[in-house]
């Protein structure tokens, strides 16, 4: 039975977004929220409406576009300004305008911060907290209060810190969240302060930790053991400086080590997949060493362990990896290549023989290509094309040939109207001996080439019509040799309800993109001949290699 | 005063080397040992002589090549095999042959492991421990015993686990190290077991933790609080699965949070440098978010924080970064608002007034541009151009104007020779009313445009000659709308010994690159007029805004 009363509060989209290098679009934020909802967190803090334009926009779009099944949205903001009544404070109005079921207010609980950062009196700060909470509760919102710098403030002036907690609760705040904002606390200190605060106030408490002593997860666990009923954290521990408490680790520890089913077991089994999906959206990969869901979390290399692992895997793992959707891996140094190719080929539905020549050839080619800069991890379609060639032992059958391609971009100043830019691509292909020339326009070389390819081929191969380019990334492979270094282009496509990728590497970036575009077309046409309108290869249809 | 009796034990070279992806040569290991010695750890575990040929070689060379000032070397190995007397066991002989002052023996303390992995009786295991320790002590070695799987074993059969500790100590082991080998423990469990073990046996204890619950550092701290006098860990928390306890974090916590000077303060101030040196040797960078020494560990982005940082940096940092050889940084972002603009401006050497209109205007523009897709975190040059415009209150003075630009890429099949690709760019600029047209070739549009720009401008502005494009990245801003979405291009340059970046955003990817290229040229030319060959702006030269 899932534990109903415990509050899992995710702040990836607000505090996590302070992570260096994280830039989320509104679309990214909506997609991350859907992932967190599917995992089963109770509260998703979406941002700071009124202060960050993108967050205001997120809440506006969330109302119509976000169909949460389980979680509720929280808007984050500050208490009213000193001397300004809550109902007319623009920032408080923006919080209400976000129309979320929950509003989380940050409140100062450290006398030094009230004086030096807020520049107001201790009494006015309490009045700001009480007044703002009352106003929001009166407007029908559930209100949480984040007591900022609580642990440092508590050491400095315990009575004032406690007064903040009491004031918030008396004004109607449902939970007061004690924040280790600077992240400098250790678990014993956190446990003591949470227990004392609970004993002195009787208020329902939450915990919000940062990882500056490497103890964010432990501090969160200690606070929960001491009575906190809300845990705040972020996906992968994203956050500024050393990050926030990793909510994924906290959830796993609570369920698997404490037997507190804060998410149901069947959702916990999706945790690793949730982690991967969110990493792709943020473009910030989680650590391979991340507890529970990291790709190395259940990977064994030690000889000492290997013999024991054969006898009983549970002797050398602290929990079963499948409970969080992860898997055990053993690193067998120089066999790593072939076995991972075999594994991947089976994943794709190919019936390959262990240790076969075909697999050895594919492994050798992958190794060569990877040392030339290719990367197949997110280019499954390019990998499958390569695998097919090796499994069938014949060069790829090409439904068309490329004769030439070109693309031009022209920009000119157009007076006050600014700059006008025009991009045009031309492709010359031959399909069964017939030459086809087509032209396409677009926003940049890749888009124009894509458009030209579709214009040339869609009439012959109707299956291509539904292939849509959704994302591409360019990586310069050597940072030391200027823009004349090799470039790797990864392109992602939507193909009906499937999403897959291709890779191209070339000294010329546009050529690298062109090769990745061609791989996509060849992938869709694997089972096609001109005029035949069958579907693209689905994995289940690839159970055996094509005859050449 | 440094705390003499506490034992800091580094196992980077043995347990840390089990980290996925770590391959150390003997030279690497010798160099890592020198770094650890300079930091001030007491014990450096060099490897497993007799089991790993590279480790045998390490100890052989260490005798003549390693000049440790402070630390002593430890060789790691197992107790004698069942039924084999210690003096003739080849692995035990190899341990003595390593000629280290300390030998650390791993001993099984979990009855399941004795039975299923070691396949011997509980009594014989105790005899193996006692006999091997006695033999090594008799040979003049200090002996530590790592009690493997101690915490799991203690839960399963407490009496046996305690018997292992007693047996080792009675045979002469100096410290018995309780190991959370599978890493599944939480701090309260570790604290209780360490305290109970100490109370029941009176033996001097150490602690060895893994990070599978995200609590390795907290578990180590809890064990020390409960009486352990030896902490084992690794540089950067290297280790298999989720890694070992990060010894750098443990040391920092002990010194700065507990006031236990386990290394002297002057050595602690070298910690960040030690971390960087070891990362370079292992080729495995530490996390930017690593507590204390990560490059983001004292980096601030939040607007909420930035205003307080202005008043008093200590309000928003849990310790002084210089104590560990780190530094505070500020990032410019839409979450930073005015205060982070102010801080960044001061970092760049501009004497801005707090709360001035200029800062407000710059903050508004950064916000607008970021919501349009710009990102200034790694585009400091583009930010500085923007800042200058706002500070001077006048549009940027442009040393040249763009009339038009174009770039073409042409690819063609050239028979068996494969594909030939040619890229050509043409720029038409006007410098002081004189029109200049130049053409450049390159590997892709960005490189060709860069070449053409240099060809057109270098004769007029010699300072540009040393500007070198070293990296660029393209990000499609919306993953949902195909390649016709906006693109953000980030370009990095090397300019003498400085490195900085620019950003461009446009619906057309090539136009986005072009704008980022232009920003770089404008940045170098901030203080230039045609024909004047002064240097590029250095930060100290920007102490006040240019007159328009």
Residue-level pLDDT at A69: 94
Q: Is there a single domain that holds both residue B204 and residue B242?
A: no
* In a domain? residue A530: no
pLDDT(A304) > 60: no
Token readout for A232 is: 């705040």
In this structure, what are the phi and psi dihedrals at residue A410, rounded to the nearest 5 degrees? -130, 125
Chosen from B250, B285, B409, B448 to mutate, greatest number of chain A CBs within 10 A: B409
* In a domain? residue A531: no
Q: Is there a single domain that holds both residue A126 and residue A224?
A: yes
* In a domain? residue B424: yes
The C-alpha atoms of residue A504 and residue B207 are separated, in whole angstroms, by: 49
Boundary (domain end) residue, out of A229, A244, A274: A229
Q: Is there a single domain that holds both residue B145 and residue B246?
A: no
Q: Distance from B190 to chain A by nearest Cα, in Å? A: 12
Q: Distance from B227 to chain A by nearest Cα, in Å? A: 15
The answer to whether the CB of A503 falls within 8 A of the CB of A381 is no
> What are the contacts of B303-308 at 24+ separation with CB within 8 A?
B303/A51, B303/B335, B303/B336, B303/B337, B303/B338, B303/B339, B303/B340, B304/A78, B304/A106, B305/A240, B306/B330, B306/B336, B306/B337, B306/B339, B306/B340, B306/B342, B306/B343, B307/A117, B307/B337, B307/B338, B307/B339, B308/A113, B308/A116, B308/A117
Weakest mean pLDDT among B155-164, B175-184, B285-294: B285-294
Q: Is there a single domain that holds both residue B91 and residue B203?
A: yes
Chosen from A155, A242, A320, A505 to mutate, greatest number of chain B CBs within 10 A: A242
Q: Is there a single domain that holds both residue B163 and residue B141?
A: yes
Indicate the DSSP class of residue B254. I
pLDDT tens for A90-124 read 999 999 999 999 999 999 999 999 998 889 999 99
Pairing of strands B329-330, B299-300: parallel
Q: Distance from B138 to chain A by nearest Cα, in Å? A: 27
Q: Is there a single domain that holds both residue B273 and residue B363?
A: no
CB contact under 8 A, B188 and A222: yes
CB contact under 8 A, B116 and A308: yes
Boundary (domain end) residue, out of B288, B314, B329: B288
Half-sphere exposure of B365 (CA within 13 A, CB side): 19
Q: Is there a single domain that holds both residue B169 and residue B185?
A: yes
CB contact under 8 A, A186 and B240: no
Which residue is associated with the tokens 């329902």?
A: A204
CB contact under 8 A, A187 and B117: no
Q: Is there a single domain that holds both residue A220 and residue A237?
A: no
Smallest Cβ–Cβ distance between A117 and the set B184, B300, B311 belongs to B311
Q: State how many domains chain B has.
A: 4
* In a domain? residue B208: yes
Please report residues of A whose CB lies closer than 8 A to that of B215. Answer: 215, 217-218, 221, 253
pLDDT(A2) > 60: no
Q: Assign residue A114 the CATH number of its domain.
A: 3.20.20.70
Q: Is there a single domain that holds both residue B175 and residue B121?
A: yes
Weakest mean pLDDT among A424-433, A515-524, B254-263, B487-496: B487-496
The C-alpha atoms of residue A495 and residue A508 are separated, in whole angstroms, by: 27
Average pLDDT for B366-379:
79
Smallest Cβ–Cβ distance between B470 and the set A318, A409, A479 belongs to A479
3-state secondary structure of A246: strand
Question: CA-nearest residue of chain B to A47?
Answer: B335
Q: For A66-89, where are the alpha helices, taking DSSP H only? A: none
- For chain A, positions 69-108, list CB contacts with chain B under 8 A: 78, 106
ipTM for the complex shown: 0.72
CB contact under 8 A, B315 and A112: yes
Token readout for A240 is: 């500024």
* In a domain? residue A175: yes
Please report residues of A whose CB lies closer than 8 A to that of B218. Answer: 186-187, 214-215, 217-219
* In a domain? residue B22: yes
Q: How many C-beta atoms lie closer than 10 Å to residue A474's C-beta?
A: 24
* In a domain? residue A537: no
pLDDT tens for A165-195 read 999 999 999 999 999 999 999 999 999 999 9
pTM attached to this predicted model: 0.72
Average pLDDT for A340-357:
74
Residue-level pLDDT at A330: 62
- Please indicate if any CB of chain B lies within 8 Å of the CB of A199: no
CB contact under 8 A, A297 and B475: no
Q: Which domain holds residue A174?
A: 86-229
3-state secondary structure of A503: strand
pLDDT(B484) > 50: no
Q: Is there a single domain that holds both residue A465 and residue A367?
A: no
- For chain A, positions 280-319, list CB contacts with chain B under 8 A: 283, 287-292, 294, 296-304, 307-308, 311-312, 315-319
Average pLDDT for B393-404:
79
pLDDT tens for B272-299 read 999 988 987 887 878 889 999 998 999 8
**Highest mean pLDDT (candidates A303-317, A492-506, B149-163):** B149-163
- Please indicate if any CB of chain B lies within 8 Å of the CB of A482: yes
Residue-level pLDDT at A356: 83
Three-state SS sequence of B462-521: HHHHHEEEEEEEEEECCCCCHHHCCEEEEEEEEECCEEEEEEEEECCHHHHHHHHHHHHH
The average confidence (pLDDT) of chain A is 87
Which residue is associated with the tokens 């923006």?
A: A94
pLDDT(B93) > 90: yes
């Amino acid at each position: 039975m899932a534990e109903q009363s415990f509050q899992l509060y995710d702040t990836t989209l607000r505090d996590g977004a302070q992570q260096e290098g994280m830039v989320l679009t509104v679309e990214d934020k909506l997609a991350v929220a859907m992932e967190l909802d599917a995992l089963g967190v109770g509260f998703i803090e979406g941002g700071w409406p009124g202060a960050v334009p993108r967050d205001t926009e997120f809440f506006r779009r969330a109302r119509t576009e976000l169909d949460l099944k389980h979680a509720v949205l929280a808007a984050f903001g500050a208490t009213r300004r000193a001397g300004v009544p809550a109902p007319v404070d623009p920032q408080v109005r923006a919080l209400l305008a976000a129309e979320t079921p929950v509003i989380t207010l940050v409140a100062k609980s450290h006398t030094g911060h009230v004086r030096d950062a807020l520049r107001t009196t201790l009494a006015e700060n309490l009045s700001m907290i009480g007044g703002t909470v009352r106003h929001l509760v009166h407007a029908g919102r559930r209100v949480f209060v984040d007591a900022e710098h609580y642990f440092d403030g508590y050491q400095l002036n315990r009575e004032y810190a406690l007064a903040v907690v009491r004031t918030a609760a008396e004004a109607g705040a449902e939970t007061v969240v004690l924040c280790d904002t600077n992240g400098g606390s250790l678990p014993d200190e956190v446990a003591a302060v949470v227990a004392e605060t609970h004993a002195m106030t009787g208020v329902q408490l939450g915990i919000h930790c940062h990882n500056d002593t490497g103890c964010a997860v432990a501090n969160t666990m200690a606070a929960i053991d001491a009575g906190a009923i809300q845990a705040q954290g972020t996906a992968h521990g994203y956050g500024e400086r050393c990050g926030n408490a990793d909510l994924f680790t906290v959830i796993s520890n609570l369920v698997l080590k404490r037997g507190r089913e804060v998410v149901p077991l069947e959702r916990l089994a999706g945790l690793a997949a949730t982690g991967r999906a969110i990493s792709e959206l943020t473009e910030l990969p989680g650590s391979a060493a991340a507890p529970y869901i990291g790709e190395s979390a259940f990977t064994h290399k030690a000889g000492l362990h290997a013999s024991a692992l054969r006898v009983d895997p549970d002797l050398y793992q602290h929990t079963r990896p499948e409970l969080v959707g992860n898997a055990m891996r053993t690193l067998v140094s120089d066999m790593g290549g072939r076995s991972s190719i075999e594994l991947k080929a089976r994943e794709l539905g190919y019936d390959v023989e262990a240790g076969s020549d075909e697999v050895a050839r594919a492994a050798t080619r992958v190794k060569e290509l990877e040392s030339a800069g290719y990367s197949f991890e997110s280019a499954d379609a390019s990998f499958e094309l390569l695998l097919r060639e090796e499994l069938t032992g014949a060069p790829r059958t090409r439904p068309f040939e490329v004769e030439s391609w070109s693309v031009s971009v022209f920009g000119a100043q157009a007076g006050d109207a600014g700059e006008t830019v025009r991009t045009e691509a031309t492709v010359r292909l031959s399909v069964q001996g017939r030459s086809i020339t087509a032209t396409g326009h677009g926003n940049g070389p890749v888009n124009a080439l894509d458009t030209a390819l579709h214009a040339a081929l869609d009439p012959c191969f109707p299956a291509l019509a539904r292939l849509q380019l959704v994302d591409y990334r360019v990586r310069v492979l050597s940072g030391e040799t200027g823009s004349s270094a090799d470039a790797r282009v990864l392109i992602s496509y939507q193909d009906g309800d499937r999403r897959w990728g291709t890779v191209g590497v070339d000294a010329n970036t546009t050529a690298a993109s062109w090769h990745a575009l061609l791989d996509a077309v060849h992938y869709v046409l694997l089972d096609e001949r001109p005029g035949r309108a069958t579907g693209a290869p689905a994995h289940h249809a690839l159970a055996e290699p094509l005859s050449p």
